[in-house]
Amino acid sequence: MTTKWVIANWKMNHLRAEASAFCEAFRADYKARPGVEAGIAPSFPLLPGVISQTETTGAKVFGQNAHWEPKGAFTGAVSMAQLKDAGCHGVILGHSERRQFFNETDDSLVKKLQAAWEFDLLPVLCIGETLTQRDAGFTLDVLRQQLSVLERTGHGPLVVAYEPVWAIGTGRRADATQIEEVHAFIREDLWLTFGDAGREIPILYGGSVTPDNFEEILRIPHVAGGLVGGASLEAGKFLRLLKQAQESN
């Protein structure tokens, strides 16, 4: 059975006191269960505190991005080696906000995926289409192009997160039919690239996931959890999402 993941992407939110309060509430109430993994991706300055406060819970901490070089003259960047040294389990790569605002390219993602595996980090590869692309009927073409980086990377542990760009932070989400179509397409593409190993790669849904809609999303074939933005900023909501994932097994 494919492992489910519920990963909190805090983006550029929380100060140390807020992160500490979240972790204290999380540590008090979270009960890990087999088959479901909890992940938290804070911004870089918060990593040490979150790692320290959650290390006994079984939750895995992720970086929100990283450079492919292990060190060097890249002012403002953070390396995979530094994430690993800090105690991270994985790293989010290719998020639409990185593609849109920071000019993330397919070529850079190939190098970042390979670097993540080199430093024993689990990459979460984000893919997704804009509303213009969906309305033009190009959704699957866009996703096929974004997934094609995996044909150039070799093989390694992987999570894929489908996040329709038009649903991130908007309160909108793809309906069940749209999610099922896309996740089935991604599963087939992963199988074509990785063979049988592609059947076990978790495919997460992201884009205005909340405790009110997550149970329905989890019932959709090939959905193995969520990459969660706004609803992950409150410990209570994040804990509810994790419980829903655990109960869906």
Q: Which residue has the tokens 């979150």?
A: 50
Would you list the DSSP string of 47-72? Answer: HHHHHHHHTTTT-EEEES--BSSSSS
CB 187 within 8 A of CB 247: no
CB atoms within 10 A of CB 194: 17
Torsion of CA 50, 51, 52, 55, to 10 degrees: 120
Rounded Cα gap, residues 132 and 187, in angstroms: 24
Q: Which of 14, 89, 95, 222 is catalytic?
A: 95
Q: Which residue has the tokens 């070529």?
A: 107
H/E stretch holding 7 reads: strand 4-9
Q: Show contacts of 65-69: CB within 8 Å, 24+ apart.
A: 65/91, 65/92, 65/93, 65/95, 65/98, 66/91, 66/93, 66/112, 66/115, 66/116, 66/121, 67/112, 67/115, 68/108, 68/111, 68/112, 68/114, 68/115, 69/115
Rounded Cα gap, residues 161 and 204, in angstroms: 4
95 is catalytic: yes
163 is catalytic: yes
Q: Which of 67, 89, 163, 183 is catalytic?
A: 163
Rounded Cα gap, residues 206 and 9, in angstroms: 10
Q: Would you name the residues annotated as active-site residues?
A: 95, 163
